Chain A
Amino acid sequence: MPRLARSEWYDLTRDMNWTLAYVTEEQAWPKDLSNGYGVSTEQWWTWDEPYKITYPEYVHNQAGKDASVYAINAVVNRSKLFEQLDPGWKSAIVAHYGAIAVPEYVAGIGEARMGRFGRAAAWRNMATYGTLDETRHGQIQSYFPYTLLDKEPRMDWAHKAFHTNEWGAIAARSLFDDMFTANDAVSTAIQLTFTFETGFTNLQFLGMAADAMGVGDLEFSALISSIQTDEARHAQQGEPTMKILVENGKADVAQKLIDHMFWRSWKVFSLLTGLSMDYYTPLEHRRHSFREFMDELINKQFLDQFRDLGLEKPWYWDDQYQAEQNWLHHAYHLGVWFWRPTVWWNPDAGVSPQERDWLEEKYPGWNDSFGKYWDVITKNVRADATENTLPETLPIVCNMCHIPVCTPAGYNAGFLNSPDPHILDYKGRRYTFCSEPCQWIFEQNPARFQGHESLVDRFLGGQIKPSLHPDFEGGTITTTHLAGVLDYMSVSMEEAGQDATDYAWAFEERDAAGIEAS
């Protein structure tokens, strides 16, 4: 091996900051692509990454990681392992691939933007590795589901989801476009690498990896653990960027960027991770509840991190965020299950008697709030009236997070003062929000969002044609008015989500008190 230690020469790979002579700074680092927030050029040059790595180290490490993960894929492909997985767990990974694979690939655009428009050479180098990492994550999380296509045709959504107007895809695209593809380099470092990757990917990638091991999904566990090692490295572009903003009197800028993206990330991850952990993962393999993972990884670890950097918890932390952790993902779950034909996976109700006991233990009061809805659903299923458990039209959708507004469920569960959505009339148009922070994000920067149309705006505007199939036939899954919507969402009849266990949960009995057998 070459004799010089990395520390002896590393600085010579990261000092390529120079003064422009033939073009202006505003031309080469335009504000739209790199908002310096008024910090001087020389101050940006002090950007110092906490994690150092050289190119030869990178290719050696990554080759080893890829070799081992692809080897597991090859072994699993020859086995019956996937077929043996719990149906709820399969839904969790089908949802994961659709929501994550392509966004990870295009996160490479955000990284490349920092690699070009980052304001220090050291930063641009880290972002170059980040670009490669995200290429890896996009490719590996496409390849694995691809190898499962014959066993699970819905894996097509790993590649297809972001090309569609499926509502969850709109919500995720809106989040990620706001976060990195349509964001400037400095804000991307705060919002993608610090807020999202340091905070929320831990939830999905560490939390779900733990559950995957329990379930016996060796492939998924190895895959996302391996990805997380890359995330842990390139996420560290956020901290030095934050430090520079804070040291130069721009803590308010950093705070606002975090408050904005933390809330948006919370919404989408309570939808994705919340449902997977608390309803789709088989009961016997749940390591922790979603709430417990949130408490450990976000409410403690991540909060400590931004306090260490001199920032405060977001303004909505106590009143809105803490309250939503008690009910939001339960409401989302109820909605996703009810509107199951509109998602690309098979929602697992996850409310067998034993599972309800677990939910009550982890979320005291669950039976009296959310359990009541499931009592009604259960009765309908048992009475062979599943048509009553299916939607006929669209719910109201939030103009910020693009997830259906669930405020009535939060109100009924005792966590909100009103069941009403938040309404804003702005420049002649009415906007609907699910929460005060979603409205706040909009009002901070209306120009970023005002001309965008939600799924419901499109429906009301005539872009989505309503029901083309009024005929009502009996069957396991029937619905009356959603055909046009499903067409718009590119959800085929074959792909439309169904109950993951064919309603087995509704017929499970328990010894002691519980749902009466009808």
Chain B
Amino acid sequence: MTVATRLRKTSKTWSMFGDVKKKPSPYEVVTGKFHYHFRRDPVPFEMDPDVPLNRWYLKNREGSPFQVDDWEQFRDPHKLTYKEYISLQKSHETYVDGLIDQFEDSNAAEKLDEGWVATLAGLYVPLRFPLHILQMTGLYVAQMAPSSYITNCSNFQAADELRRIQRVAYWTKVLANAHGDHLAQTGSARDPWENDAVWQPLRKVLEEMLIAYDWGEAFTALNLAVKPALDALLNWQFAALAASNNDRLLSQMFTEFQHDSERSQDWTQALTKYALERDPDLSKVLKGWLDVWEPKAHAAVVGLAPLFETAPVPMAAGDVVSEVGRRYTELRSGCGV
């Protein structure tokens, strides 16, 4: 056997991409085909075939009913690389810093109505707990996804939750400085989260979502049921409630968070369509999961809606629920389910 001593002159792209007609974009070059372990023969990981994590991935990823022949053609509609994600969010964070500067300069927190502060104590302060579970589940979907194209979307989504939590936490501290230290104590957030009846339907669905380990079900529960409902409740309804109670900072901040939520919805719709185009029967799989998760997400919204009636300028609980429902239906129909 002779090993040729000259190498071929040019390689257009990664050989793992096969014979591609169009030159891959920089986004594709750094995103496609990184999960060497997906459907790897004989098992995902280079270990004993029966180690728990091999079995876990075979069951919850390769064995998920949410399955198509090839996930590698899926694309994030925003085509975000790490570099672009960071750059995008830097500009959004600069905007939020500016917002906070503006409202701190005018001592806006101190001027808030005490009744509104009481509403915030019940509705706003505990939020970091449920939002943290959205972050956790986003990272679960990411580690289980069958393609790095999907993993990256879900990782960025989880980081967006961290972003939202931190801004909520920052302004909680500002509120505490103006209206009482207790607002910044862990108990002021954890106690309602763990004990108040209004929070329990949300806590229930989120804790249950933590153990939805099939990757397709986790994706469906998070991105097609719970997160869109919660995002609609917070980024739209809570933002509107804040505006009508003269809390323009929180109104504008949550409106800003909607950019992140829209990005989540964009890739969710794209992925769902992608799967259904390849296998229309998957609509039954998705519908089966949604039959479980959508009512629970709805119950969470119904549970929290009465808090909107406690504001000095209240919003009727029924209106909150129906508005969230309307937005949710829009998303779901956009997904083709």
Interface of A, helix, strand, loop or mixed by DSSP = helix
B37 pairs with A181, CB closer than 8 A: yes
A447 interface neighbour in B37, B51, B56, B89, Cβ under 8 Å? B51
Q: For the complex, count residues of B whose C-beta is within 8 A of A.
A: 91
Q: How far does the alpha carbon of A70 sit from the alpha carbon of B321 in the complex, in Å?
A: 47
B128 pairs with A13, CB closer than 8 A: yes
Q: How far does the alpha carbon of A282 sit from the alpha carbon of B248 in the complex, in Å?
A: 63
* Contact partners of B52 in chain A: CB under 8 A: 32-33
B128 pairs with A16, CB closer than 8 A: yes
A55 pairs with B1, CB closer than 8 A: no
Known contacts A55-B159, A108-B155, A66 near B86 by CB under 8 Å:
yes
Separation in Å of the B94 CB from the closest CB of chain A? 8
A449 interface neighbour in B29, B47, B132, Cβ under 8 Å? B47
* Partner-binding segment picked from B66-74, B133-141, B268-276, B281-289: B133-141
* Contact partners of A19 in chain B: CB under 8 A: 194
* Contact partners of A159 in chain B: CB under 8 A: 14-16, 33
Smallest CB-CB separation from A101: which chain B residue?
B34
Known contacts A8-B173, A124-B135, A135 near B155 by CB under 8 Å:
yes
Known contacts A28-B211, A33-B56, A106 near B136 by CB under 8 Å:
no
* Contact partners of B34 in chain A: CB under 8 A: 102, 105-106, 138
* Contact partners of B193 in chain A: CB under 8 A: 18
B190 interface neighbour in A18, A116, A128, A449, Cβ under 8 Å? A18
Per-position binary interface string of chain B over residues 29-51, scored 1 when its CB falls under 8 Å from any chain A CB and 0 otherwise: 11101111100000011111111
Per-position binary interface string of chain B over residues 7-24, scored 1 when its CB falls under 8 Å from any chain A CB and 0 otherwise: 111111111100000000
A469 interface neighbour in B1, B12, B140, Cβ under 8 Å? B1
Smallest CB-CB separation from A69: which chain B residue?
B83
B155 pairs with A116, CB closer than 8 A: no
Q: How far does the alpha carbon of A260 sit from the alpha carbon of B29 in the complex, in Å?
A: 35
Interface membership of A22, Cβ < 8 A: yes
B16 interface neighbour in A56, A160, A493, Cβ under 8 Å? A160
Interface of B, helix, strand, loop or mixed by DSSP = helix
Smallest CB-CB separation from A497: which chain B residue?
B3
Interface membership of B317, Cβ < 8 A: no
A55 pairs with B166, CB closer than 8 A: yes
Interface membership of A262, Cβ < 8 A: no
B53 interface neighbour in A8, A124, A183, Cβ under 8 Å? A183
A22 pairs with B207, CB closer than 8 A: yes
B5 pairs with A476, CB closer than 8 A: yes
Q: How far does the alpha carbon of A19 sit from the alpha carbon of B142 in the complex, in Å?
A: 25
Interface membership of B54, Cβ < 8 A: yes
Known contacts A116-B143, A450-B48, A13 near B2 by CB under 8 Å:
no
Smallest CB-CB separation from A16: which chain B residue?
B132
Separation in Å of the B30 CB from the closest CB of chain A? 4
A452 pairs with B170, CB closer than 8 A: no
* Contact partners of B3 in chain A: CB under 8 A: 341, 475, 477-479, 493, 496, 498
* Contact partners of A129 in chain B: CB under 8 A: 159
Most buried by A among B35, B36, B204: B36
A12 pairs with B163, CB closer than 8 A: no
Separation in Å of the B335 CB from the closest CB of chain A? 24
Q: How far does the alpha carbon of A480 sit from the alpha carbon of B2 in the complex, in Å?
A: 8
* Partner-binding segment picked from B96-104, B110-118, B232-240: B96-104
Interface membership of B278, Cβ < 8 A: no
Known contacts A112-B139, A181-B45, A447-B51, A9 near B15 by CB under 8 Å:
no
* Partner-binding segment picked from A170-178, A372-380, A417-425: A170-178
Q: Which of A57-86 contact B (CB under 8 A)?
A: 59-60, 62-63, 66, 70
Interface membership of A143, Cβ < 8 A: yes
Q: How far does the alpha carbon of A225 sit from the alpha carbon of B333 in the complex, in Å?
A: 48
B158 pairs with A156, CB closer than 8 A: no
Interface membership of B120, Cβ < 8 A: no
Most buried by A among B7, B53, B128, B177: B53
Per-position binary interface string of chain A over residues 467-483, scored 1 when its CB falls under 8 Å from any chain B CB and 0 otherwise: 10101110111111011
* Contact partners of B163 in chain A: CB under 8 A: 55
Separation in Å of the A502 CB from the closest CB of chain B? 9
A494 pairs with B4, CB closer than 8 A: yes
A182 pairs with B54, CB closer than 8 A: yes
* Contact partners of B243 in chain A: CB under 8 A: none
Interface membership of A330, Cβ < 8 A: no
* Contact partners of B151 in chain A: CB under 8 A: 108-109
Interface membership of B169, Cβ < 8 A: yes
* Contact partners of B210 in chain A: CB under 8 A: 23, 28
Q: How far does the alpha carbon of A514 sit from the alpha carbon of B317 in the complex, in Å?
A: 91
Known contacts A22-B204, A494-B7, A475 near B51 by CB under 8 Å:
no
Separation in Å of the B119 CB from the closest CB of chain A? 19
Interface membership of A115, Cβ < 8 A: yes
Known contacts A19-B194, A182-B47, A12 near B203 by CB under 8 Å:
no
Known contacts A13-B128, A55-B93, A480-B1, A163 near B36 by CB under 8 Å:
yes
B35 interface neighbour in A106, A128, A182, A183, Cβ under 8 Å? A106
Interface membership of A365, Cβ < 8 A: no
* Contact partners of A473 in chain B: CB under 8 A: 1-2
B11 interface neighbour in A2, A60, A150, A479, Cβ under 8 Å? A150
Interface membership of B106, Cβ < 8 A: no
Separation in Å of the A12 CB from the closest CB of chain B? 4
Most buried by A among B5, B30, B159: B30
Interface membership of B264, Cβ < 8 A: no
A33-B53, A146-B30, A477-B5 are known; give 19 further A-B pairs, CB within 8 A.
A2-B100, A15-B189, A20-B207, A106-B34, A109-B142, A116-B139, A139-B83, A150-B10, A154-B7, A156-B14, A156-B15, A159-B16, A182-B47, A447-B50, A448-B48, A452-B47, A467-B1, A480-B1, A496-B3
Top 10 closest pairs, chain A to chain B, by CB: A32-B52, A12-B169, A182-B53, A469-B1, A9-B173, A139-B30, A115-B139, A177-B45, A182-B45, A16-B132
- Chosen A-B contacts, 18 in total, with CB atoms closer than 8 Å, are A4-B170, A8-B173, A16-B129, A21-B200, A22-B203, A23-B208, A56-B166, A62-B86, A112-B155, A125-B162, A143-B30, A146-B13, A146-B30, A150-B10, A170-B46, A182-B45, A471-B1, A478-B1
Question: Which of A's residues lie within 8 Å of B, judged by CB?
Answer: 1-4, 8-9, 12-13, 15-16, 18-23, 27-28, 32-33, 54-56, 59-60, 62-63, 66, 70, 102, 105-106, 108-109, 112-113, 115-116, 121, 124-125, 127-129, 131-132, 135-136, 138-140, 142-143, 146, 149-150, 153-156, 159-160, 162-163, 170, 173-174, 177-178, 181-184, 341, 447-452, 467, 469, 471-473, 475-480, 482-483, 493-496, 498
